[in-house]
Amino acid sequence: MLTFIIIGSIGLALVVLSLLVGELFELGDGAVSGTSLGVGAIVYGSIGAIVAANGLPMWLAYAGSAVVAIVAVLLVQVLIKRLKDTEDGVPVSLVGIQGVATTAIDPSRGEVSLDAAHELERRLAWSDEPVPEGARVVVVEQSGSRVRVRQHFPND
């Protein structure tokens, strides 16, 4: 029984470290992560300890724990992959994108609605020169989620 408790404790430590400092390692080019191995070790230790505590044969504890742990590792790895696939990608540069000033824009404040397909909301903006509300603008700089714009004229 001590073997199962030690393996489960190591798995718990691995999961906690992965949560605190990020993924510690990945095997097989990301096929198996440290988090999923930690979960597998927790499951292995837990199932083994339960089977051993109930007086069932030890071969059943080892074999059953291994099978359930492998299933747990695969399930967690699938969930991790799905979560990674839903993460936002690389930030898109908005420099050169045109839009409309939804408020008057000056050096300290303003708001724009950009024409880019991925832009669903308005952005905070500023401009070196005053831009009236409703004027066409073009982004000349991006700082986080804010953009610096200048008024855009059709002949530019």
User: 66-114 pLDDT, tens per residue?
Assistant: 999 999 999 988 888 887 777 666 667 889 999 999 999 999 899 999 9
Give the residue extent of every domain in the chain. 2-85, 98-151
The more confident residue out of 61 and 120 is: 61
Please state which of the four CATH numbers 2.40.50.140, 1.10.10.10, 2.60.40.10, 3.40.50.300 is assigned to the domain occupying 98-151: 2.40.50.140
Q: Which DSSP letter does residue 93 get?
A: P
The more confident residue out of 21 and 40 is: 40
Q: Please, which pLDDT band fits residue 20 given cuts at 50, 70 and 90?
A: confident
Q: What is the pTM of this model?
A: 0.54
Average of per-residue pLDDT values in the chain: 87
Distant-in-sequence, close-in-space partners of 98: CB < 8 Å, separation ≥ 6 = 114, 115, 136, 137, 138, 139, 152
Is pLDDT at 147 greater than 70 in this prediction?
yes
Q: What is residue 153's predicted lDDT score, i.e. its pLDDT?
A: 85
